Structure formats: C-alpha cells, structure tokens
C-alpha cells in the first residue's frame, strides 16, 4: 500500500475508534490522540476552550506559544547571580518567570546544566512557579514543560528518579510490555514533578553501526521491533499523562554524521524509507502520539531540493501531514544544531520551519531574533495569522487533551512517594534483568563462582568501574576497580596487566570500541595474561567486532547502575541472561558479513 493509501486508511480507522481512545492508553478525554483527525472543532467543551483561548490571544501571544526554550535556575524566580547573568546573556531577562512573561512561551525545557534538576521537590517547585507565571499573565495558557528523558545514554532526571537502561536494552528484551511499563513509570515520575512532555521515544531504526548520534538510543535495527516498542512506549508515557514525542522524523537511523555538528544525508530510496524508516512513526501515529520531532538532515528521495527535513514542506506537510494523516504537534529538534543552521541564517529558520508545517520551535540560538522574525513574517505576509492559528490550535488542543489545562500544577506532598518508589525500582530491576545479552561464552566460563573470586573491573571511568565492582562484591565475590582512559594508553594497559596478576577474573568494560582502539588493545593484553577475561559492552553492542578474539562477551547497552547491577547478576548466575541482540553485529573486517545476527543470545540455567 502506498504512503498516501496508508494515511487514508489511518484516518478512516481513527474515525471508527474515536470513542475508544482509552484502549490506546491515553488519559481520559484524549480519545483518538492529539495526532488524530478528531482534533477538529466539533462544539465540545474542550473545543470551545481551545477556540475561546485562541480568540482572546494577541498575535504576540500566539507567536510565543510556538517557542520552547530553557532558562537557568533552580526556581522560577531564581536570583542566583550566576544564573541571572546567564539568563540576561541568553534571554535578556533575569529568570524563567520573566522569560515566560516576556515571550508568552508555549513551553520550556529542562536540563541538568540549566540547574533544573537538583531534587524531586525542587523540580516540582520550579514547574509550579513557571506554570503560575504562564497562567498569571499574557495568554493564560499552561506550559508544555519538557525534557529528554530517554534513559540509558540520554538522562536528564537522574536518581532518585527510577532509571532504565535505555531503548536498545528494551529492544534486547523484545517485550512490548517492558517498553510500555518503562514509559509508564518514567512518565508517572516526570508528571509528578510537573514535566508533562518527554522528548522520547526515539523512533529511529539504527541500521547503521557507524551512527554516531542514535546508536543505543534506538530500540532496534529491525523496523518491526522498533515499531512495536515505539508504539508501546508512546502508550506508556501517555497513560501516565505525559506527552510522548516520537523522534526524529523522517528517520535518523542510517547516517554516520551527527546532525549536532553537520548536515547528514540519508540516501534511502522511497521504497527503503517505507520499509526501514517509516514503520515506527506510523506505529506512533496509530498509538496517538502527542508530538513528533523533526530531524535536521537531507533526504533527497523525499525532497530532492536538499532542504533539511525540518524546513521541508514536502516532508513535513505532504508526507507527514497529508499522506500519513498526522495532525498533532510537530516540534523541531534544537534550532541551535548545525544540521539546520548550515543552509539558512538564524532569522529565516523559524519562518521556514513554520512554512514547512512545523508547529513548535525548540531552542533557537537567539530567541529574541527568532520571535521577532516570526512577527515580522506575519507583518510582511510571508506567514499569515491563519497559519499561526493552525499551529497554536494544535498546541492548545494537545495541552487540553493531555490534561495539562485541567491539572497544570504538581501535588507537592505526593512527589517523594512517586519518584523512585520501591515498586518502580523493583519493576525497573526486573525489566533490566531481561535485557542483558550473553553474546559469547567460550568454554562455558559463565556463570562465575562468587566465593573466593577476586575480580578486576577495568576499562572505563572511575565511577563506572567502581559501580560494577560494587555490584560484583554484592554478589559475594571481591571486586576491585581500575579505571582507564576512554581510549586506554600504553600506560593504562600496563597498569591493568599488572593489576590482573593478583586477580582470579578480569572484566573489561568497553564503549564505542571502534573509535577507541585502545580498548581492543586492552582486551588483547589482558587475554594474553591467561586470566579468564569477560568483556562487557556498556554502549552499542557492536564493540565485540573490534576484539573478536574475546572468548566471553556480554552486552549491557548502558553504564548506569541498574544495567551494571543486572550484568553482575548475570555474571554470577543469580539470573540467566535473557536478552537477544536487537541489531545485527557485522564483522569488523567485512561489514557485509554478520559476526552475530539479529536475535542472537545465549543463556544458561540459574
């Protein structure tokens, strides 16, 4: 079936199931999902609120709703001198409250480096303060408060928030239920502290082992598995009342260029896009995803002009809106990234994005310039106010449907009982135990015997080696940590060989071994000692292609505590390895030949 045919089928299905939205795992009132064709004004009370709010807003307030940015500070009224100085440089105001009031912002985004995450109670207080600013002035519309809580490699809200090992680890479990529960738990904890939108899940299909920016952020290299888990996680987040965001449309999985620093080109044909890239986005739309994030890349088969997808009307409107039937909120990836700034000046990018069909403009490098540029485009006729209204209507509808209008504030007394509670932590442990993948086990070395076993853990940072060494000790063995550089030097390798002499077993942690050849040299040197060596990749599982002579290899997909603790349980047989490779691992010397195929994974009895 053609893309256009699928879009028509999707729209007809939505009409048929409009009253059954709760089956999609959405909050009450979100029947067909924010991206559905049911967002039209049909006279319901919610539609009347949207139209009433829209009609009461000035053009300046409407344009403000299109922007999402960050402000520094632990509170909305932060008066810390450093934060005030950074905000004045960045936004021309002192704090987040003033930024919301000045620009009538539609959303804000939190990062650790903006001082947004200090403790659950602090985050909740920041969110409530910003919502009071939004509701007390200007458009009187609550904010979309967002972050990138993908888990694994990309984490903004750290412990005590419940942590998961990330998308590719969930791909290794292969269970839609696990992806759903991870989304539901994470969404529940985010919403408890006032974060009502997560820029997750990543819907990209990682078919390129050299991909420098997606990798373990993707569920899988298999389009169907990625689609199944994307849809499940969308439902999980939105069941918890947190807007999910499928990213990066039309697909960022087959590139060896990072769009943060350059402009990638995807060379897939339309047929390849249909088969490889599109399925997870279609699945997300079918699941009622609240928003979709764009990719800053060229996709010549979808738009021969070479315009970055974020700024491409053939991709954002003809393909996503018309052919795929998506009428929800489309948000750009950060407009400060090089991938979107290489072709047009900063003043033009926001206007071109809106002309392409985008709704929300994330983190322009100069907010004041971007805001004024959109207003000037309306004044000149480059953009019409009707075009602005179309996007604002989608944004207001999303806020209404996801319950943000009815419940913009947190329940401060409940925060500590929700974030990182015992039930969530136990479920995260159980899910993670289903992800650790035993790729190779020559001689049946695993599981290890704990009693009397002195285990050297080396090959990574101090924090990571200590974390795994502690988990090894908790199993009844004696773990010793020896950190190395990310790309171990000759001195690092010599120190590790010396340390191994007094140990019974060696565990070598690797991450991105292809671009850090010292890691493979470390593995070879430690193997040559004759000590039993276990290699453990804590990022992409492709590492073993750099040291195929290793006899025992585990893939954990993450270096966070929950992943390392699961790996330790597998090392000593407390749990059997159950993960299966969600990608194919090609040979290092012959990339066209698989070293280990998709779905590979060994196990042993507990």
What pLDDT shows up at residue 138?
83
Res. 591 pLDDT band, cuts 50 70 90 = confident
Q: State mean pLDDT over 220-244.
A: 98
Q: Region 20-29: what's the mean pLDDT? A: 30
Q: 310-329 pLDDT, tens per residue? A: 999 999 999 999 999 999 99
Short-list 242, 256, 265, CA closest to 195: 242
CB atoms within 10 A of CB 37: 18
SS3 state at 315: helix
Q: Domain 436-596 has what CATH class?
A: alpha beta
Asked which of 41-50, 119-128, 524-533, 595-604 is least confident by mean pLDDT, the reply is 41-50
Return the pLDDT at 605.
Answer: 65
pLDDT above 70 as % of the chain: 92
Give the C-alpha separation, 210 to 212, whole Å. 6
pLDDT category of residue 359 using cuts at 50, 70 and 90: very high
Domains of the chain by residue range:
3-413, 436-596
**pLDDT per position as a tens digit, 531-545:** 999 999 999 999 999
Question: What digits encode the pLDDT tens for the residues 37-89?
Answer: 334 444 577 789 999 999 999 999 999 999 999 999 999 999 999 999 999 99
Task: Note the pLDDT of residue 5.
Answer: 41
Q: Is the pLDDT of residue 28 over 80?
A: no
Query: What's the mean per-residue pLDDT of the chain?
Result: 92
Instruction: Report yes or no: 176 and 232 within 8 Å, Cβ to Cβ.
Output: yes
Nearest Cα to 236, choosing from 154, 314, 170? 170
- Burial of residue 12 (CB within 10 Å: 0-12, 13-18, 19+) is exposed
Model-level pTM?
0.91
The residues that are catalytic are 260, 333
**Do residues 198 and 146 make contact, with C-beta atoms less than 8 angstroms apart?**
yes
Read off the pLDDT of each residue in 403-423 and give the average, rounded to a whole number.
97
Identify the pLDDT of residue 212: 83
Measured in degrees and rounded to the nearest 5, phi and psi for residue 479 equal: -95, 135
- How far is it, in rounded angstroms, from Cα 36 to Cα 29? 13
Specify the CATH number for 3-413; select among 3.30.590.10, 1.10.1040.20, 3.40.350.10, 3.20.20.300. 3.20.20.300
Nearest to 351 by CA among 381, 374, 326, 384: 374
282 and 325 in contact (C-beta within 8 Å)? no
DSSP 332: P
Question: What is d(CA 35, CA 585) in angstroms, rounded to the nearest whole number?
Answer: 36
């Amino acid at each position: 079936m053609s893309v256009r045919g699928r879009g028509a089928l999707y729209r007809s299905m939505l009409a048929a199931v409009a009253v059954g939205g709760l089956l999609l795992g959405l909050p009450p009132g979100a029947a067909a999902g924010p991206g559905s064709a049911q967002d039209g004004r049909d006279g319901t009370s919610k539609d009347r609120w949207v139209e009433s709010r829209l009609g009461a807003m000035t053009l300046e307030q409407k344009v403000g709703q299109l922007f999402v940015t960050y402000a520094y500070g632990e509170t909305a009224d932060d008066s810390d001198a450093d934060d005030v100085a950074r905000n004045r440089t960045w936004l021309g105001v002192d704090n987040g409250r003033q930024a919301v009031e000045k620009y009538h912002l539609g959303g804000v985004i939190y990062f650790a480096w903006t001082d947004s995450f200090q403790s659950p109670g602090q985050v909740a207080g920041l969110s409530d303060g910003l919502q009071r600013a939004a509701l007390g002035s200007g458009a009187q519309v609550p904010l979309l408060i967002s972050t990138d809580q993908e888990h694994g490699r990309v984490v903004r809200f750290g412990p005590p928030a419940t942590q998961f090992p990330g998308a590719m680890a969930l791909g290794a479990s292969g269970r839609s239920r696990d992806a759903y529960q991870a989304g539901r738990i994470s969404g529940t904890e985010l919403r408890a502290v006032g974060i009502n939108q997560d820029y997750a899940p990543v819907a990209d299909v990682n078919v390129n082992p050299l991909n420098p920016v997606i990798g373990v952020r993707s569920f899988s290299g298999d389009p169907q598995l990625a689609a199944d888990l994307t849809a499940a996680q969308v439902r999980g987040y939105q069941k918890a009342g947190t807007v999910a965001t499928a990213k990066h449309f039309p697909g960022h999985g087959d590139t060896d260029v990072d769009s943060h620093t350059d402009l990638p080109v995807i060379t897939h044909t339309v047929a390849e896009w249909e088969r490889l890239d599109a399925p997870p986005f279609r699945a997300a739309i079918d699941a009622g995803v609240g928003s979709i994030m764009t990719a800053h890349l060229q996709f010549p088969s979808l738009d021969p002009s070479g315009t970055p997808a974020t700024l491409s009307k053939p991709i954002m409107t003809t393909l996503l809106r018309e052919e795929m039937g998506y009428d929800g909120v489309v948000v750009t990836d950060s407009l400060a990234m090089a991938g979107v700034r290489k072709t047009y000046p900063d003043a033009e990018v926001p206007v071109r994005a809106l002309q392409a069909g985008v709704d929300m403009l994330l983190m322009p490098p100069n907010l004041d310039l971007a805001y004024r540029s959109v207003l000037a485009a309306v004044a000149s006729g480059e953009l019409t106010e009707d075009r602005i209204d179309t996007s604002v209507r989608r944004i207001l509808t999303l806020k209404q449907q996801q319950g943000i209008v009815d419940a913009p504030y947190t329940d401060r007394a409940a925060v500590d009982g929700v974030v990182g509670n015992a039930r969530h932590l136990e479920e995260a442990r159980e899910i993670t135990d289903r992800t650790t993948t035993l790729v190779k086990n020559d001689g049946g070395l695993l599981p290890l015997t704990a009693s009397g076993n002195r285990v050297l853990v080396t090959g990574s940072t101090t924090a990571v080696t200590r974390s795994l060494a502690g988990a090894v000790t908790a199993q009844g063995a004696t773990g010793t940590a020896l950190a190395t550089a990310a790309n171990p030097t000759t001195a690092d390798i010599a120190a590790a060989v010396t340390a191994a002499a007094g140990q019974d077993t060696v565990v070598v942690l690797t991450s991105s071994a292809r671009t850090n050849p010292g890691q493979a040299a470390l593995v070879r040197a430690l193997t040559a000692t004759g000590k039993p060596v276990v290699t453990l990749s804590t990022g992409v599982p492709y590492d073993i292609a750099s040291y195929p002579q290793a006899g025992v290899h585990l893939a954990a997909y993450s270096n966070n505590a929950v992943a390392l603790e699961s790996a330790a349980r597998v090392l000593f047989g407390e749990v059997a390895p159950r993960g299966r490779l969600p990608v194919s691992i090609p040979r290092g010397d012959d990339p066209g030949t698989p070293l280990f195929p998709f779905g590979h994974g060994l196990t042993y009895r507990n």
